[in-house]
Structure formats: structure tokens, C-alpha cells
Amino acid sequence: MELEDIKSFSNNSDSQLFFDYDLSKSNWFNIGGKTKIFFKPQTLQDLIAFLKLYNKRGKIFLLGAGSNTLFSGNVFEGVTIKLGKNFNRISTLDKNKLVAGSSVLDKSLSEFSMENSISGFEFLSCIPGSVGGGIRMNSGCYNREFKDILLSVQAVDFLGNILQIPYEEIKFSYRSTDLPKDLIYLSATFQGQNGDKENIQNEMSRLKQIKNDSQPSKIKTGGSTFKNPIGQTNKKVWQLIKEAVPKDISFGDATISKDHANFFVNKKNAKFDDMMSLIAYVKKSVKKKFNIDLELEIIVVD
């Protein structure tokens, strides 16, 4: 990949460009090799200028908070983009509408809406990702998903063209949407309802308590590894794994959380291959015992 012109990509902004950048510290698993280019645009103008210059000459991956991503140990032959501070703003519009930049953390959005007495965003306090990752994954918990609060998505394609996508044009499904994969979400507009600050705060605490009681915290994980096989069984995927796989199974430092069988954990220095061996083993064991093909929820980037 020709990089000379990109190396000299410079302007008067504070956008950051790195080469052969280590990705292992930028995701929750703490796993991964290097990316040829790492770009952290601070403004939309810089992002568009970069995309036009890059002109899809290699791969492009958008990194949010890295809480759902497993990077391989290979060099990523392209650019990993992480949106910077201009994409981290939240504003209120009229009638309980909010606009949030894609790098805003879900937790911050739920806190902002609570401070402004807007309800509907309480569930976001339990998801450790960003707005961009949440749109891509249609993330959710406790019977609420991004689809329930989204009004529209503002995006840019890989060639730098800006798009505005209304809710009605997006088909949402469980942990997915039909939005094209070659889009960078810039921000989104959300609809909440009139709420009472104290009630919202109580609801957030209640949900966080349920989460803390049922899922591990302070571990290197990507959250739910597989999707629940909805329609194929009444069991949740963690139950299938619990019944099909010995609980102390590990490959290198890759293992299964004692608190939640669908959370796979990097105990210390697990490599990508260790995690993939664990994933393959669990998939095979569940297939053998229940004849169900599990589908990955985490995004594997190679």
C-alpha cells in the first residue's frame, strides 16, 4: 500500500495520524496486532479530507470504544479510524430530542438525558460502548435497543460523501441492522420522553444492579460472544454453553467467565488464536449437543 502522500497528510488541525500502531490496548479484550495506519480525526473536515486522499486504497475499520471487537494478531492492512473530540458532543433539541456524536459513550448519553429529565435512555447506562458501536450493533439490554430511541443517523461513506439516514429507512434486527458496512456514523438523533430526574436515576441504578449481579466486571472481555439463537430454542446461549462445555475450559489464557458462560475472557496474555480456538471449541460442542449453529455477536477484525 502506497503511503507517502498519507504520511505527508498534514493540516493545521490537531487530528492524529500514526503508523504501525498497536491495537491491543484499544479494545476490551486487550488482544490484537498492529494497524498500518491509525487515524484519529478531530473534525469532520479532516475526516473527509483524509477519506478522499485515502480513496479506499486499503481496508477501513471504524473503532468505537472497542467493547465488542476482537482484533487478529496480523497487521491490519489499512486504516483504523477512531473518531476524536468533535464527535463527542451531546446537544438537546426540542421535544426531548437529543443529538449525540458517535464517540459519545452510551453511559454519558444516559447520564446527560437523566440530567435533562429525559427518559428512555436508562438502559444505555449498562452498555460499555459508544453511540457509533451501538448503532452498528443495535445494542440493547432489558428489552430496549437502539432502534427504540433512534430518529436518524448522520454518516459519511468511505469516499467522504455525507448522508442523512432516517429511522424509516433502516431495517433493525437482533444486534444488527441493514445499514451498509462502508459507512462511518458521525452522530445520531434520538427521541426520548418527558421524565422525572429522580425516577430516571432510580431506574438506571436498578438496571445497573441487575447487570452487576448477573455479569462479570473488570475483566478483559468483549461481552456476549455469541448471539442468542432466537427461534431455535427457548434456552439462552449462556445456558447452552454451560450445558455443553466444561466450565474450566481454556486455551492459553483464553477462558470462559465463571459468572457468565457467554463472556469469554483474556485472563492475562491470551492471543487471538487462543480466543479463536475457544470460540471454535464452544461452537463445536454446542452443535454436537444441541444441533444449533451459534453465530458470533462480537466483531472479528482480520
Ligand X SMILES: Cc1cc2nc3c(=O)[nH]c(=O)nc-3n(C[C@H](O)[C@H](O)[C@H](O)COP(=O)(O)OP(=O)(O)OC[C@H]3O[C@@H](n4cnc5c(N)ncnc54)[C@H](O)[C@@H]3O)c2cc1C
CB under 8 A, 24+ apart: contacts of 177-181: 177/135, 177/136, 177/138, 177/147, 179/135, 179/136, 179/153, 179/155
Site pattern 171..190 for ligand X (x: CB under 6 A): ------------xxx-----
Which of 171/289 has CB closer to ligand X? Answer: 171
Our finding on whether 300 is near ligand X (CB under 6 A) is: no
Our finding on whether 79 is near ligand X (CB under 6 A) is: no
- Look up 224 and say whether it is catalytic: yes
* Closest-CA residue to 196 (of 92, 90, 96): 96
| Residues touching ligand X, count (CB under 6 A) | 32
Our finding on whether 80 is near ligand X (CB under 6 A) is: no
Our finding on whether 84 is near ligand X (CB under 6 A) is: no
Q: What's the CA gap between 105 and 128, in Å, rounded?
A: 7
Active-site residue, from 15, 26, 224, 285: 224
- Look up 297 and say whether it is catalytic: yes
221-260 as b/e: b if 16+ CB within 10 A? bbbbbbbbbeeeeeeebbebbeebbeeeebbbbbbbbeeb
Active-site residue, from 175, 187, 203, 285: 175
Among 37, 47, 51, 62, binds ligand X (CB under 6 A): 62
Our finding on whether 125 is near ligand X (CB under 6 A) is: no
Name the minimum Å distance from CB 87 to ligand X.
Answer: 8
111, three cell numbers: 447520564
Name the minimum Å distance from CB 145 to ligand X.
Answer: 8
Would you call 245 helix, strand, or coil by DSSP? coil
Per DSSP, the residues of 101-138 read ETTSBHHHHHHHHHHTTEES-GGGGG--SBHHHHHHHT
* Closest-CA residue to 170 (of 200, 196, 147): 147
Classify residue 174 by its DSSP letter: T
Site pattern 3..42 for ligand X (x: CB under 6 A): -------------------------x--------------
Which of 83/244 has CB closer to ligand X? Answer: 83
- Look up 108 and say whether it is catalytic: no
Which chain residues interact with ligand X by CB under 6 A? 28, 61-69, 83, 102, 126-130, 132-134, 136-137, 139-141, 183-185, 221-223, 299
Residues that are catalytic: 175, 224, 297
